[in-house]
Amino acid sequence: MPGDSTLRFPLAASIPARTQVGIVGAGPAGLMLGHLLHRQGIDSIIVENRSRQHVVERVRAGVLEQGTVDLMHEVGVGARLGREGLRHRGIYLAFDGARHHIDMAALTGGRAITVYGQNEVVHDLIEARIETGRPLLFEAGDVGVHDLDSSRPRVTFRSAGAAHEVVCDVIAGCDGFHGICRPTIPASHQHIYERVYPFGWLGILAEAAPSSTELVYSRHERGFALFSMRSPTVTRLYLQCAPDEDLGPWTDDRIWSELRARLSTDDGWRPNEGPILQKSVTGMRSFVVEPMRYGRLFLAGDAAHIVPPTGAKGLNLAMADVYRLSGAIAEHYRSGKRAADGLVFREGAGTNVAGAALLVVDDVAAAPQRQRQPVRPSSPARRTGVSCQFDRCHDEPGRELLRRAVRL
Ligand SMILES: Cc1cc2nc3c(=O)[nH]c(=O)nc-3n(C[C@H](O)[C@H](O)[C@H](O)COP(=O)(O)OP(=O)(O)OC[C@H]3O[C@@H](n4cnc5c(N)ncnc54)[C@H](O)[C@@H]3O)c2cc1C
């Protein structure tokens, strides 16, 4: 609902000229970071270029890992998740006409996944943000970040026709894969690991009660298929397809027929069918940039790394990033150092996506910046194989991280 003043917050008059942390992007990463900082008494502004309605209605992730669920409860935004989230003990793997149950909770000492839409997470975090009274701005235009290697980095944007500038101690780039923060970092400071997969997912959202209480991952000669759900009345299903699949020929009948072919098992199980509410094709890509920092700019979530939705990890990684980033920022203020002393976030051992997710805070003197090699553009042909990932790593530690990630 662009232009609806009830959805634009705050009013332009209350946009501050100075804050501690400027957050670009009101996705799960930006909103959770703002909330975590608020709980530690740290001020921030969140600047989002889309409307509140668009952000809340964007259907993406739906599987929350235990760590994300725990975090939501711990920081006071888990009440609705607790009531409405669908807790799953495990998953089904289907092949050769049979479903096999994997009891994840039994294998992991009681940890489980919870199905709760990313849009619901975002909705809850926006409500919490508004409750705090701290600035959250939707529909910001021409968002830019500047002076990142100075002690006064700035976020600039247009709102309601007026130009604004907010001077910050630190800027958090939580603006997703297509945002403006990462491209602001000079190429010579970016170290990129990337793989583009030769297939995509045709995803649908259907008004149909889930016919399985847990997810079904199906391996089939016609291609992979995934049965998933968003609520007791809405099913989410995926078909493996070409990365540039044309949705045009995919009528609803053809989609259901293909889903039946790939998912039905010999015991008579098949997905319930109903009106298709949404269809889309998602390409598959793994991408990690490091370091996740340039001067006073810190990247978090999809801005720094994306993994294919096959793993249902992206939102969970975004939450893990901002949890650590907020702790490091809070420690920085607690330690009494001025930001000009230099915060350094560097990748630590024990990471879960090729070294991108774990951040530790350190002093600039103790962790001198490594010189980064410029990243060469790769041809489409070179982007399809695992070996090309290794080609794109310019140092041996990076290659070893990727070997470990591929082995997992
Ligand atoms: C089909 C699909 C299924 C998925 N399933 C799962 C799953 O089950 N589990 C899981 O964990 N993950 C899943 N993911 C991944 C997950 O959705 C992302 O990892 C997650 O959204 C990352 O959150 P983020 O806040 O980092 O980025 P985003 O959600 O992309 O948020 C970035 C925000 O920044 C805003 N922005 C962009 N540019 C600007 C700008 N110039 N100025 C201001 N704001 C800007 C955007 O509008 C957006 O609101 C899935 C993704 C897809 C596509």
What average pLDDT does the chain have?
83
Question: What per-residue confidence (pLDDT) applies to 177?
Answer: 95
176 Cα: distance to centroid of ligand 1 (angstroms):
5
Residue 205 Cβ < 6 Å to ligand 1: no
178 Cα: distance to centroid of ligand 1 (angstroms):
9
Question: What per-residue confidence (pLDDT) applies to 336?
Answer: 67
Under the banding of pLDDT at 50, 70 and 90, the label for residue 354 is: very low
Question: What per-residue confidence (pLDDT) applies to 359?
Answer: 29
More confident residue, 140 or 61: 140
Residue 62 Cβ < 6 Å to ligand 1: yes
365 Cα: distance to centroid of ligand 1 (angstroms):
34
Domains, in order of start, for the chain: 1-88+113-196+285-408 (3.50.50.60), 89-112+197-284 (3.30.9.10)
Q: pLDDT tens digits for 178-229?
A: 999 999 999 999 999 999 999 999 999 999 999 999 999 999 999 999 999 9
Question: What per-residue confidence (pLDDT) applies to 230?
Answer: 87
Residue 25 Cβ < 6 Å to ligand 1: yes
Q: pLDDT tens digits for 4-17?
A: 434 445 544 489 99
Provide the CB-side half-sphere exposure for 357 (13 A, CA). 18
Residue 295 Cβ < 6 Å to ligand 1: no
Q: Which of 217, 230, 188 is nearest to 372 (CA)?
A: 188
**Amino acid found at 49:** N
State which of 113, 118, 129, 214 you would mutate to test the pocket of ligand 1, scoring each by most atoms of that ligand within 8 A of its C-beta.
Answer: 118
Residue 231: strand pairing partners: 234
92 Cα: distance to centroid of ligand 1 (angstroms):
26
Residue 46 Cβ < 6 Å to ligand 1: no
Interval 289-310 mean pLDDT: 94
Interval 326-354 mean pLDDT: 59
Provide the CB-side half-sphere exposure for 137 (13 A, CA). 26
Which pTM does this prediction carry?
Answer: 0.82
Percent of the chain at pLDDT > 90 equals: 73
Give the position, in ligand 1's atom list, of the atom nearest the Cα of 315: 11
274 Cα: distance to centroid of ligand 1 (angstroms):
27
Q: pLDDT tens digits for 104-158?
A: 999 999 999 999 999 999 999 999 999 999 999 999 999 999 999 999 999 999 9
CA dist 69 → 64, 85, 211 (Å): 6, 9, 24
More confident residue, 238 or 336: 238
Residue 24 Cβ < 6 Å to ligand 1: yes
106 Cα: distance to centroid of ligand 1 (angstroms):
31
